[in-house]
A and B are shown apart, each in its own frame.
Chain A
């Protein structure tokens, strides 16, 4: 309401002063509306970006609207489907897994930015994810390179040193979990049984996904998928995890020390560093790898997202100008959001900046950003396709069966059958 009202006021002001429309568009104060889902992370980086833009354009304002992620995605999808563009933002954040779904389902709803941005300055895989029929639609934002975040002080109580966490397999991590449980009584990892994040991380770490490069289902008879489900089953039945439900309970678990570690994308840094009193007590190790799988590595990806401008945006020109002049230009900005929010941008020139090379006292003086950059380069590229949501749902439906020790082949066959049925 407020946004609409103020826009009407602007329009009225324009009409009253009788200035020609063209010059007003350049001079009048614009309010850019943005939808995203994390006040500590993408919301905070957007605010930071805009504060830099405001220094040059003092009249403009931004309105960052934060939603719960799934709610925001469903709201966007419902509204795009309705065809009514009133109430849509100027800029929206979309997770990489879902980008192609939106681009293909709602043609001409998003603004191609190919003519505004030099995409050779962004990580190629991010550009690829937002490209359809030769047009690229996004300003690539963050990478979801994964790491194993742990409380070094709590693991030290169990006699675990950082060296023991380097380049290990999942089964070695399970053994470490058992030691930790025995010595400290703490479950090593919080796991939400209604999310397939862990299986997705394992799949991509070995260069696999629910689908192959052409979008064919690769679930049944995929050795990586089988290894991932088996590893997840061993993890869940080893007694070293605690079930959590929902995001708040999940993040609360490791930030309060109820569990000494978690396994997530680099963007989790923002949530962890929000607890300043835990400075120096955290460490980051590379992701574990799948045992006995060809192509399995110690690098994977979880999430990662990009900014999109809507074709219907009332402040479209302004939004594009803002995104290109900060997000596709300002190297210094990327240093700041890296240190403050743990946002590992995919703007390549920013990698040469100081912050990327600095060590971080919060993580015990380790050069964590350099490590993440190294792991980032090692992530196997996969095609997320357009049906990741369906495949996730089919997988999550089987998690109770996996956790209760069900037959892995039967479970995989059930997931495969459901996904094949759902993707027509």
Chain B
């Protein structure tokens, strides 16, 4: 509880206020609010189709919200132009649900790709090579550098995708279902890796997941996204022992 208080006192690096998003008649987000503090692991859980992925995509400008403000490191991303948004995005790492590795590129090229617009990789080939190797090493896959994504297993793809997001040393990490589609052992490895990364790079992480085990292990705080709003906020322990019927039903279902 002491650590919880400390986290709440830290600087807010990401804030969402009254976020609304609909697709036709389907109101997905209905005034969602959240705050991510520096160094915090915030888990957002919700049923399938509850708008978790829509929300996380709004955070990086991949989707435009209908209403509401999103502040990332004191900048309202809804008011940024394309160039300013690109600069801000270099401070945000995004791990996609399906890894989203570039099929036509080797692992090395996948990792070099985000560097293209932030460093001159042709002039600085040696240090780029070293950076790619070090980052791959931090996810335990330095030996895959010249492989194609099609030659990697699901867990390895997820690790390489993680390395790709880490190469720009982001301050905020967004994870969209980091353990989905993986077997329990690989899921555990990914969760441990996420914890290592947080310690090593001192990142603030927003994790969207269905995986209750993942939430239990990694979360400092949790938000339950129900009916498009931040229905409940608290620690895993607080929420999993709640007497609220909706929260109870949610945990019963998942546990």
Q: Do A and B come from one complex?
A: no
Which residues of A are at the interface with B, using a C-beta cutoff of 8 A? none
